[in-house]
Amino acid sequence: MKNRLKVSVVFLLLLLFILSCFYFFYLVSLALGRKDLSATSAKSCQHHVLILGESEDENFLTSIYKGAQSVSGAYDCVVELYVPKTYSSDKNLQSLFNFASFINPDGIIICIPEMPGNIELPLNIQGKLIPLVTLSQYHPELPQISFIGTNYSELGRKIAQESSDYLSGRGRIAIINIAEDSGTNYSTLMNSLSNALSLHSDIKTSVLDFNTSGSISSSVADIKKLIMQESFDLLVCLTTEDTIRIAQLVTEIHKDGKIGIIGFGDGEVLETYLSKGTVTELLSIDSEKIGRTAMKELFEYIRRGYANNYIAADVKVRRSGQK
């Protein structure tokens, strides 16, 4: 009986040791994925803010980080960016929250496209919720202190006004819709844009909607035929991917500079097309300003106990030829 008890105790201790090792190496693997881009991280600061998100949003989050870092000195704060190299089942939202609890920052800025159920929120070492500023998608069930996002209705009206200004109130527009993801936000943007353009009687608008007709390549081929057949003055794209595809297509048929393109998004490829004049005008979310605003809201809450619940992100407009 005593031998059995000893074996059971040894087994339980061994199991506990293995689980502890597994959890330790799990946290180490997360820590190795951290991107501390801050030059000031070596010095002692009073506060620490952690920026989190998925690998597919890394460029956006890096821009958020730059904005947050630019004002970090005013808050005596180290800003750290952590984006997993891969966003798989072992590094999901819950894992990011667990990692945040382990790091114990004063506040979190996080991009959450989708909110799964049964999430344990990040707690600090006192067992209190770590203040959250969320980006990308609003989730009412999440106890965020502030949400900073895009007003898609306003964005649609903004694109319509820029289109009208480009055409001086007269011409033919094709709105390109090859987007694979046509969620609520995208539908709101499309409806707002179409409604705003319908108020301009001398602008004829067509929607080239190919998002459900098959493969992306066949959709682009169909649009290529239409652009070559029809005399569109302006092509309007609502996503980064569509803007790149249409810029490539217009270049292939040697109509760059002859057909205007108003695109949406950012990144090195779009910057190149804008500098060449293939893309006439580029709208994008001012992500660096989002970073600065997120810091302001976090420290309003930390110091005063309140923050703005909802803030609409600003839209930048850049035109080809402008510096």
pLDDT in tens, 106-151: 999 998 877 767 788 899 999 899 999 999 888 888 899 999 998 9
As a whole number, the mean pLDDT across the chain is: 82
171 and 202 co-located in one domain: yes
- Percent of the chain surpassing pLDDT 70: 78
Is residue 323 in some structural domain? no
- Interior CA angle at 133 toward 130 and 137, to 5°? 130
102 and 179 co-located in one domain: no
Is residue 110 in some structural domain? yes
Would you say 17 and 46 are in contact if contact means Cβ atoms under 8 Å apart?
Answer: no
* pLDDT the model gives residue 16: 59
Low-confidence ranges of the chain (pLDDT < 70): 1-43, 85-91, 116, 178-182, 210-219, 322-323
128 and 163 co-located in one domain: no
280 and 175 co-located in one domain: yes
| Residues 299, 276: Cα–Cα separation, whole Å | 42
Nearest Cα neighbor of 74 from 303, 302, 295, 313 is 295
Within its chain, how far is the Cα of 274 from the centroid? 21
| Residues 306, 308: Cα–Cα separation, whole Å | 7
* pLDDT the model gives residue 168: 92
132 and 182 co-located in one domain: no
Q: What is the largest CA-CA distance in the chain?
A: 94
* pLDDT the model gives residue 25: 45
- Interior CA angle at 144 toward 104 and 311, to 5°? 120
* Domain of residue 205, CATH code: 3.40.50.2300
Contacts of 150 (CB under 8 A, 6+ apart): 185, 285, 312, 313, 315
163 and 266 co-located in one domain: yes
What are the helix (H) ranges across the chain?
A: 2-32, 58-70, 93-103, 152-167, 184-197, 216-229, 240-252, 268-276, 287-304
For residue 74, what are the CA distances in angstroms to 46, 271, 292? 11, 31, 11
164 and 244 co-located in one domain: yes
Note down the domain range covering 50: 33-144+288-314
Would you say 107 and 52 are in contact if contact means Cβ atoms under 8 Å apart?
Answer: no
For residue 1, what are the CA distances in angstroms to 8, 12, 65? 11, 17, 61
In the β-sheet with 171-177, what is the strand arrangement from edge to edge?
203-209, 171-177, 234-237, 260-264, 281-285, 315-319
Would you say 234 and 163 are in contact if contact means Cβ atoms under 8 Å apart?
Answer: yes
Is residue 189 in some structural domain? yes
Would you say 133 and 146 are in contact if contact means Cβ atoms under 8 Å apart?
Answer: yes
DSSP reduced 3-state for 84:
coil
* pLDDT the model gives residue 148: 94
211 and 308 co-located in one domain: no
135 and 157 co-located in one domain: no
Beta bridge partners of 236: 175, 262
> How many domains does one find in the chain?
2
pLDDT in tens, 225-263: 888 877 889 999 998 888 998 999 899 888 888 899 999
| Residues 226, 258: Cα–Cα separation, whole Å | 15
